[in-house]
């Protein structure tokens, strides 16, 4: 199981590989939220999302002989790129199973990073888990699950170590940390890191409407599924249900989930563009959207939010700017 020692070990392996992202802010965002907003821009991470942390942590944790046979992953795109780059950096092959309706840029980037991409149709009910198991059997590759995987959670948790360190340096002892949440790997990792390093900071998962499985699961105390498995803008964080490993961690350590609309995610993307000069993808903007547009559901003088990724196709980004890009 993931714990703080595993996160610290992952941080040691990631040193010199993962980017140490800062906490950014803007007085214009503070005014909207009514409190100070600190943004952890994981869109600036290698491959454009935090997923590189978990991918590298998992690939680097494999034993040499296992790693040499290559790695296998399924992903809507960000985990794909993170694992692909980590595999390339270790000189081993990668096969990535991606939904055919993933953003074209994510599929193209994954291939450009040297991985073999296998597409499946998620709307038709094809199971990426079954495809993954089959390929694992055929090729003997190590499967790196996107979130229900202790080394992946540990890698994502390094984000939380950095948040704890920067918050302490700025004198922030108490704050909520809003995290973009799909399967819960980033949220669980951050929550574990904060528990050990910054107990006054509490993680809260943020999700898009209609895909709020984690919020409903936390509220009911039992794992809930989403009615749909695709659709909406926030492809990066759409998963069937919370993970079996991640959910108990979230249940023990996180505050209630926050839910935002796709339109709020687009508005947050436009504000990240104009006020922070950062490119966020819709799923990567839900935590910022929660901080800005659901401020009444958040507590404290400071709020910390992740922008978990920036891998968005141009047409969606232009939609955010044409609707919400006029900031004056």
Q: Is 18 in the site for a second copy (CB under 8 A)?
A: no
DSSP, residue by residue, 70-126: -EEEE-SSHHHHHHHHHHHHHT--EEEEEETTS-HHHHHHHHHTT-EEEEE-TTTT-
CB of 99 to a second copy, least distance (A): 16
- Contact track, a second copy, 219-258, x by CB under 8 A: ----------------------------------------
Q: Is 279 in the site for a second copy (CB under 8 A)?
A: yes
Q: Is 74 in the site for a second copy (CB under 8 A)?
A: no
Name the one range near a second copy by CB under 8 A: 105-113, 201-209, 219-227, 293-301. 105-113
Of the candidates 144, 299, 311, the residue with the CA atom closest to the CA atom of residue 235:
311
Judge residue 210's burial from the number of C-beta atoms within 10 Å of its C-beta, 0-12 exposed, 13-18 middle, 19 or more buried. middle
Q: Is 100 in the site for a second copy (CB under 8 A)?
A: no
Judge residue 285's burial from the number of C-beta atoms within 10 Å of its C-beta, 0-12 exposed, 13-18 middle, 19 or more buried. buried
CB of 113 to a second copy, least distance (A): 8
CB of 168 to a second copy, least distance (A): 15
Choosing from 4, 9, 32, 44, the residue that interacts with a second copy (CB under 8 A) is 44
Q: Is 87 in the site for a second copy (CB under 8 A)?
A: no
Q: Would the CA dihedral through 235, 222, 51, 163 be positive or negative?
A: positive
Main-chain phi, psi angles of 250, to 5 degrees:
-60, -40
Output the CA–CA distances (angstroms, integers) from residue 156 to 128, 160, 181, 185, in the order listed.
Answer: 22, 8, 12, 7
- Contact track, a second copy, 131-170, x by CB under 8 A: ----------------------------------------
Q: Compute the radius of gyration of the chain from its Cα atoms.
A: 18
**Rule CB under 8 A: which residues touch a second copy?**
19, 22, 24, 27-28, 41, 43-44, 48, 104-105, 107-109, 112-113, 270, 273-274, 276-280, 310, 314, 317-318, 321-322, 325-328
């Amino acid at each position: 199981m993931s714990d703080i020692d595993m996160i610290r070990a992952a941080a040691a392996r990631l040193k010199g590989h993962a980017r140490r992202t800062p906490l950014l802010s803007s007085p214009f965002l503070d005014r909207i939220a009514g409190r100070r907003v600190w943004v952890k821009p994981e869109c600036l991470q290698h491959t454009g999302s935090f997923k590189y942390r978990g991918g590298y942590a998992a690939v680097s944790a494999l034993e040499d002989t296992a790693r040499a046979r290559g790695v296998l992953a399924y992903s809507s795109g960000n985990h794909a790129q993170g694992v692909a780059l980590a595999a390339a950096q270790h000189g081993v092959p990668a096969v990535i199973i991606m939904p055919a309706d993933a953003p074209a840029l994510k599929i193209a980037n994954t291939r450009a990073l040297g991985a073999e991409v296998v597409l499946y149709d998620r709307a038709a009910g094809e199971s990426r888990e079954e495809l993954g198991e089959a390929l694992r059997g055929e090729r003997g590759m190590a499967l790196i699950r996107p979130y229900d995987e202790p080394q992946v959670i540990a890698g994502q948790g390094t984000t939380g170590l950095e948040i704890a360190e920067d918050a302490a340096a700025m004198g922030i002892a108490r704050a909520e940390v809003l995290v973009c949440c799909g399967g819960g790997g980033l949220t669980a990792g951050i929550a574990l890191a904060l528990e050990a390093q910054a107990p006054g900071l509490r993680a809260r998962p943020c999700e898009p409407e209609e895909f709020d499985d984690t919020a409903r699961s936390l509220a009911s105390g039992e794992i809930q599924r989403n009615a749909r498995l695709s659709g909406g803008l926030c492809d990066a964080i759409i998963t069937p249900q919370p993970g079996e490993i991640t959910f108990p961690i979230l249940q023990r350590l996180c505050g209630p989930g926050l839910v935002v609309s796709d339109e709020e995610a687009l508005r947050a993307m436009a504000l990240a563009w104009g006020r922070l000069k950062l490119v966020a993808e819709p799923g990567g903007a839900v935590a910022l959207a929660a901080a800005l547009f659901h401020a009444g559901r958040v507590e404290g003088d400071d709020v910390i939010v992740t922008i978990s990724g920036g891998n968005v196709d141009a047409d969606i980004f232009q939609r955010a700017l044409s609707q919400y890009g006029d900031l004056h």
